[in-house]
Amino acid sequence: MMKIPLLVLCCVLLLIGCKENTTEALLDTYQQRLANVLKITPAETPRLNLAALPAARSLKQPVADIRIGLLNAYELRQCGLFQLIAERNSILGKVQDQTRQLRYELLFLKQLDHCLNVIDSSDPLHSQLMDIYHQKQQQLPRVIWNMAFTSQEWRQQFTLGHQVLELQQFSGYIENLAAFDYLATLTTTITTTNMSQAFTTLTANNIDLLLYHQQQIHNIHYIGQLFYSIARITAVLNTITTQLNQHESTVLCGPNINNQQALYLRNVFYKYYVTDIQPYLSTLQSQYQQLQPYLHRFYTKLVKDHIQPSSAMTLYANDYFEDQLQHQFQQATLEHVHYWQRLFERCQFKVGHQ
């Protein structure tokens, strides 16, 4: 087998790692063209200071291991719970990931609910099972929390990216929208509904959708990239708008005045902002507006009565699950557009005409 020289391999990896982001390149070109027309140097965008998702170990919620004695478990054959417990106690059951742990807890409670309806209430086992039922029910929000914020597949969605999403490339949006729609509905169901009523909705097939959604997002890192993209572009737009505003008085318009500079600015606006940047911004905003209600509902249902988040997690949630991120993004977009509206009005440019 032919060996690839180490130096060549390193150079190839370096080139791959240095591939230019299409969105960053477009924003840089837009800013540079505007600066060229204004005869100024493009300002540096301030370094982002974003709230990061806290470490998994600091987010982990304690969940006590509740087990039924073997003899009692054997008695549960009559209501179908014994086999489920046996699978959980198997070698594979003891090493299952957190999504499968949540699946087990839901299936266990569903079957236990059935057992409580068929076992005679005078049987001592009935009282024991009722205690376990209530304990397991109280643990469910913490089990969901641990899955979402400490397991690899779900946690990676919330970990901030380091590059903005590429133009025309929003891979993972559909999968995450479906996954967190499901998770928000599941969380709402188990935190606000009587569990016996909840299990009429939470069929075995519905519970198994947990595994489907985990598989769908397994190799995707989308939501954190969306958060980063919105924050980054907010900062870039604010930087560009500030420079435009600072030099607004130097752009002359009016009767008997050479308005060539204003015309050049208008051309840059149409060529870059209207053609490519604005559609990209609209897509970002639309996707965030679709996702944010599910993320907000899922998070608030968990913390309302069941989880006491740390101050770092609260800061993270306020920035990304509330509407602060979107508000800052919208404000940056509006202020940028307001500059162009003023220029067009002052120079009497017709919208849509270049």
7-11, 42-46, 85-89: the lowest-pLDDT one: 7-11
pLDDT for 91-124, tens place per residue?
Answer: 565 668 999 999 999 999 999 999 998 888 888 8
| pTM for the model | 0.89
User: Is 354 a residue whose pLDDT tops 60?
Assistant: no
**pLDDT classification of 14: cutoffs 50, 70, 90:** very low
Q: How far is CA 312 from CA 54, 221, 317, in A?
A: 6, 21, 9
pLDDT at 306: 85
User: Is 13 a residue whose pLDDT tops 50?
Assistant: no
Contact between residue 291 and residue 226 where contact means Cβ atoms under 8 Å apart:
yes
Contact between residue 37 and residue 306 where contact means Cβ atoms under 8 Å apart:
no
pLDDT at 216: 94
In angstroms, the CA 319 to CA 299 distance is: 13
Burial of 16 (0-12, 13-18, 19+ CB in 10 A): exposed
- Please choose, from the candidates 282, 276, 296, the residue with its C-alpha nearest in 3D space to the C-alpha of residue 223: 296
Q: What b/e sequence results for 214-252 when a residue is b if at least 16 CB atoms lie within 10 Å of its CB, and e otherwise? A: bebbeebbbbbbbbbbbbbbbbbbbbbbebbeeeeeebe
pLDDT for 184-233, tens place per residue?
Answer: 999 999 887 788 888 888 899 999 999 999 999 988 899 999 999 999 99
Contact between residue 154 and residue 220 where contact means Cβ atoms under 8 Å apart:
no
User: Is 23 a residue whose pLDDT tops 90?
Assistant: yes
In angstroms, the CA 179 to CA 176 distance is: 5
pLDDT at 86: 77
pLDDT at 93: 58
Q: What is the DSSP letter of 69?
A: -
What integer is the mean pLDDT of 342-347? 94
User: Is 343 a residue whose pLDDT tops 60?
Assistant: yes
pLDDT at 20: 86
pLDDT for 225-260, tens place per residue?
Answer: 999 999 999 999 999 999 999 999 999 987 778 889
pLDDT at 193: 73
User: Above pLDDT 90, what percent of the chain?
Assistant: 69
pLDDT at 5: 57
- Please choose, from the candidates 156, 194, 155, 135, the residue with its C-alpha nearest in 3D space to the C-alpha of residue 59: 155
pLDDT at 1: 42
At residue 148's C-alpha, the angle toward residues 170 and 192, to 5°, is 110
3-class DSSP state for residue 138? helix
Q: How far is CA 168 from CA 1, 22, 281, 282, 284, in A?
A: 40, 10, 11, 12, 11
pLDDT at 299: 96
Average pLDDT of the chain to the nearest whole number: 89
pLDDT for 285-305, tens place per residue?
Answer: 999 999 999 999 999 999 987
Q: What b/e sequence results for 71-110 when a residue is b if at least 16 CB atoms lie within 10 Å of its CB, and e otherwise? A: ebbebbeebebbebbeebeeeeeeeeebbbbbbbbbbbbb
pLDDT for 155-178, tens place per residue?
Answer: 999 999 999 999 988 889 999 999
